[in-house]
A and B are shown apart, each in its own frame.
Chain A
Amino acid sequence: MIRHVVFLVLLVAGCRAEAPVPSRSVTDDLGRTLVLPDRMERIVTLAPSVTELVVAAGAGHLLVAVTDADDFPPEVDSLPRIQALPVNREAVVALAPDLVLASEQVNDPRDADALAELGIATWFVRVDSLSDVPRALRALGDLLGTAETARRTADSLEAIRTRLRSSLPSGRPPTVLVLIDDRTLFSFGAGSYVHEMVALAGGRSITADLETRAPRLSDEFVLTRAPEVIVGSLGDDYRIERLLEHHPTWTLVPAVRDRAVYSVPGDLLLRPGPRLFAGALLLREALGTGPVPGAGSGE
């Protein structure tokens, strides 16, 4: 009996010592170099946008936990939740993931340093533009062993973009104001992917030249720039009257006068992930700048 146990112990120890897990060296979007095992089996995401990217890359089955802010796609609903802001490090460690995936926009690299000390690697994803989405998908596919699915999704997103771009109507694009919130008028400033979404939809975003990343617009700005369409995450069943309640002078804004105010689900604007393309399709619909030839699902 004891001999068996000793044998078993030796066997296990031997396995550990003699067969090191095959590993590789990779670089994430922040330029951090990580040494990772070839095969990933357990991953944790620290931002909803990253979860969406992982699922779209075909690696949703590897997720063992997502953040408490995750709500898409539905298949992550049943997964355990961890607090992401600030990161609940204990919960991450307890899950023993092979890799933690974080977003440059949301997460703090110092959390990654702390997790690294605990032996857990963190890969940062950065999505600043629409073209970053297919690029991030392909990178995640390579990383997580789902390169084929990731490539297909990335290709189909790029095809949506091409279709949108090639079907742009001629003539002057309507001016568009994209709002995050209707009361305090937060919007998107220079460098945001939102302006590209608006352009693909056939419009021209009026906040593209504002230097702040999340500018807080004045009523005066909106009055003088006179947007012809207003789009925002304004909630379900949005009524134009509610906009006028907060901003009574906007009766003079062409978009309000022509009742061209549209509410789109906030996540399609705010989450730098695959659904931005669905957002662009929805914007095209709202702007009424012509149908997209052969448009498929944006998911």
Chain B
Amino acid sequence: MRLRPSILVLAIAVPASLVAGLTLGSADVSASDVVSVLADRLAGRPPADPVNDAIVWSLRLPRVLLAFVVGAGLSVVGVAMQALVRNPLADPYVLGLSSGSTAGAALYFLGVVPLGALPAMSLPAAAFAGGLLTLVLVYAAARDGSSVPVTRLLLAGVAMSALMASLTSFLAFVSPDPNKLRAVLFWLLGSLSGASWTVLPGPAIVLAVVFLALLGLARPLDALLLGEDPARSLGIPVERMKHVLIALAALLTGTLVAYSGAIGFVGLIVPHAVRSLTGVSHLRVLPTAFVGGGLFLVWSDILARGVLPGQDLPVGIVTALAGVPFFLLLLRRNRRPFA
């Protein structure tokens, strides 16, 4: 069993990262203060220091948890997409979800969304709708009767991404309000600064549902890696499988992007890194990617919160900055072809 040591490592790394995420940040809160906040909370006592309590319990804890959820979600979707299109360059955004969501968010920020249609349209709702609309267009363009050829899917995704990106750029360019422009840019790079206890349940539930569904599909996913025809000969309903995967990916990615913006790179490199550790079997890749991706984003966000004093960097900057060197190293060490 190759998995045992990694389980052990993860069993230590997860709580350690949680503690680090609660202790490190732009404000100075000592480890003992963190402990006393948690102790007060768990015992139901009123907080000894309300400011520390707000920082640790209301800001950092939901943020660490959201970072884990988003990282885990993007990674498992990355695994699924790479298996679906059998292309190592695939990531959760390959079908245009992120650029569609960003365009939706830009439309919302800049006040162009026809609010009459949806009176209580919030930013996440606008982003989700943008992403979903894009995906539907990609799907409609790629579909050929009852089948969805993967190459066409990829090409349509790339094309729609470009279209949506230029729509966002256009909106940003003509916007008369520089403040809103900054907000769009910040969102474009992805950030977890919107995390709160009220935000958390939605993404967490969707993640749980999609993750369990993907685990259930682990065997067909393995078969897909062999190619569509071999998978078919193994009795896998390939076309139905594709539809299910696209729907699952859209649901989870759309939800995550709606709350955290388009955080790049997690969904691309974590699946590869994980495969180089566990091999290609999805029963092992999926759980490891889940935990690994979650931890990766938790630590990226710790960096994003701590690099500049008092400030919050968009975490999307950090994921690539911290992730790429590590990934290149893995790439060098691992002579086996990826994916």
Contacts and interface: CB of A to CB of B under 8 A. Distances in A.
**A and B interact:** yes
A208 B130 CA distance: 39
A224 B311 contact: no
**Most B-side CB within 10 Å, residue of A69, A183, A233:** A183
Contact of B182 (A186, A210, A224, A252): A186
B54 A249 contact: yes
B44 interface: no
A184 B55 contact: no
Nearest to B55: A220
A184 B190 CA distance: 12
A223 B311 CA distance: 12
A223 B186 contact: no
Interface stretch (B22-30, B210-218, B233-241): B22-30
B176 interface: yes
A210 B311 CA distance: 9
B51 interface: yes
A224 B51 contact: yes
A221 B179 contact: no
A255 interface: no
A219 to B, nearest CB: 5
Given A180-B179, A252-B50, A221 B58 contact: no
A254 to B, nearest CB: 11
A69 B182 contact: no
A266 interface: yes
Contacts of B313: 216
Interface string A242-274: 000000110010000000000000100010000
B59 interface: yes
A212 interface: yes
Interface string B163-204: 000000000000010110011001000000100100000000
Nearest to B305: A218
A220 B26 contact: yes
Contacts of A113: none
Interface in A131-187: 180-181, 183-186
A266 B308 CA distance: 26
- The winner among B51, B55, B193, B310 for most chain A CB atoms within 10 A is B310
Interface in A211-241: 211-212, 215-221, 223-226, 233
Interface in B273-326: 305, 308-313
Contact of A184 (B51, B54, B183): B183
B310 A210 contact: yes
Nearest to A69: B176
B179 A266 contact: yes
A221 B196 contact: no
Contact of A181 (B26, B59, B183, B312): B183
Interface in A181-201: 181, 183-186
Interface of B: 25-28, 50-51, 54-55, 58-60, 176, 178-179, 182-183, 186, 193, 196, 305, 308-313
28 contacts: A180-B182, A181-B182, A184-B186, A185-B312, A210-B310, A211-B308, A212-B308, A212-B311, A215-B311, A216-B186, A217-B312, A218-B26, A218-B310, A218-B311, A219-B55, A220-B60, A221-B26, A221-B27, A221-B309, A223-B55, A224-B27, A226-B51, A248-B58, A249-B58, A249-B59, A252-B50, A252-B51, A270-B178
Given A218-B193, A221-B27, 18 more contacts: A180-B182, A181-B179, A183-B183, A184-B183, A185-B312, A212-B311, A215-B311, A216-B313, A218-B27, A218-B305, A218-B312, A219-B59, A220-B25, A221-B26, A223-B51, A248-B58, A248-B196, A249-B58
Complex A-B, nearest 4 residue pairs according to Cβ-Cβ distance, in ascending order: A220-B27, A221-B310, A249-B54, A218-B312
